[in-house]
Amino acid sequence: MKPIQWVKNTMPKTDDANLSIMSLDQMEKARAFHRTIPGYAPTPLAHLTHMASHLGLKDVCVKDESYRFGLNSFKVLGGSFAMAKYIAKQTGRDIAELDFSTLTSDQLREEFGQATFFTATDGNHGRGVAWAANRLRQKAVVFMPKGSTQNRLNHILAENATATIEEVNYDECVRMAAAEAAKTKNGVVVQDTAWKGYEEIPSWIMQGYGSMAMEADEQLHELGIERPTHVFVQAGVGSLAGGVQGFFANRYPENPPIVCVVEADTAACLYKGAAGDGAEYNVTGDMPTIMAGLACGEPNTTSWDILKNHVSVFAAAPDWVAAKAMRMLAAPIKGDPQVISGESGAVTFGTLCEIMTNPDYIELKEALKLNENSRVLLFSTEGDTDPERYKEIVWDGRDYK
């Protein structure tokens, strides 16, 4: 089987100007907005005490995003907040003035009108954007990359969005969405990847993701855990990783957690950038992986700056790591709660387990300073968003290399 690749972060630091995007006051605004959405509740934090003992750790806690608004993924947090911030800006308001009921009112619809929100997605982000647009009485157009499943397309179409599966990769779909938005009246790109000239909306999406990290921090405190010593977070373009890293760097500036960012090995643009000279690195081509949510080859320029300054280790994991972790979380050690975790959701847990049990990764374990006193926080970012593949892996034991 292919090994997990990893590199310690030795990149030159910058002036860290983007860390302020994830300041605690900005996080409070995002969290306050999310609380106004009907059906909002913090997702569970699974405390895997028996697994922690098995792995030789003090605590292992997994944030279970399969419960988020019935959408089976965390992504809606970013898309909904970014759309709300956009409407607030266009109507000259602060986001604090626009709760969800105001955003969906006839009065605001008359004042703002209707926009068409364009995005590219493997499924989860597009579903979140379509869900939010549908409830905000706006339009959504979604481009999906080659290899996207019909099931994920159907979820997006069910939210009254226009959606298609294209014969190009994710990054090309992003360019298609941007091009269509540019020639559409009131067209707006809602994408969590940033590039030169397109930084504001991705930063709002990262702030939306911060709600999840803030919830997890509060839940750790409820368990009597003062702070996580370690955070494992997955990355596609890096917006989630930048949001989570940014929150914890601001939350614990004097004693931040050690952070490990994990990517799919076929789309490991951050790992390759860190292994090189720290410049942005683009992965091209089809990027085949079961981790559809991580099959992104071009980094978010805004979050990359945060990650360069604060992440300890970048890792690139093959598919078997995610598949094994899905099975372990689905059939936990007796006494631990079950977590239904999809391919992109489980890979960080799989990486942690390999580090703690496989002697081939002793140097990585030492680099991360993982030991019996470590309290590790992970994010299962999706549930069984592709139910048939989930069953193939967990029920049928489909093997990956």
The residues carrying an active-site annotation are 75, 122
For residue 152 the two structure tokens come to: 């994920």
273 neighbors 299 (Cβ within 8 angstroms): yes
Burial code (b: 16+ CB inside 10 Å, e: under 16) for 273-300 equals bbbeebebbebeeebebbbbbbbbbbbb
Query: Nearest to residue 202, comparing CAs of 54, 83, 112?
Result: 83
Alpha helices by DSSP H, 252-397? 269-275, 301-310, 319-330, 343-357, 362-368, 387-394
Amino acid making up residue 32 = A
Q: How many CB atoms lie within 10 A of CB 222?
A: 8
For residue 285 the two structure tokens come to: 């081509």
Cα–Cα distance, 241 to 247 (Å, whole number): 10
Burial class (CB in 10 A: 0-12, 13-18, 19+), 400: middle
